[in-house]
Amino acid sequence: MEIWNNPACSKCATARATLDEARVPYRLRAYLEESPSAAEFTEVLRRLGARPWDICRTQEPVARDLGLAAWPRDEASEPRWVEAMVAHPELIQRPILLLDDGGALVGRTPEALRAAVDRSAAERDR
């Protein structure tokens, strides 16, 4: 499993602690320093079953500066959203958990973290 991690984020810390407690192996990616390419981010969105605006931190200062709240949320606008979020990775919701089974979750809730642990255990048992 790979975690898109921000060390200053409490939700990321909770995800790391939950996975550590469950002894789920993971790799950390400091996505703020190692920002994804547009193609990579688009693949993550596919794995999440999400659109860019679904996981955009629209209250971040850069989001307000860009006027994201007024951007259209339609298929034609997706590349613009992806471009903005890749250029400003602080806009990407965190933590994103890229599961070894090919899925992905935004690990902000206990339920999402439990699902990640369960899916990791199922993958190990195969």
- Give pLDDT tens digits along the chain (126 positions): 999 999 999 999 999 999 999 999 999 999 999 999 999 999 999 999 999 999 999 999 999 999 999 999 999 999 999 999 999 999 999 999 999 999 999 999 999 999 999 999 887 777
- Torsion region of 85: left, alpha or beta (phi above 0 gives left; psi -120 to 50 gives alpha): alpha
Q: What is the CA radius of gyration of the chain?
A: 15
The C-alpha atoms of residue 42 and residue 34 are separated, in whole angstroms, by 16
- Domain segments of the chain as ranges: 7-120
| Residues 3, 16 contacting (CB under 8 angstroms) | yes
pLDDT, residue 108, reads: 95
Which CATH class, in words, describes the domain spanning 7-120? alpha beta
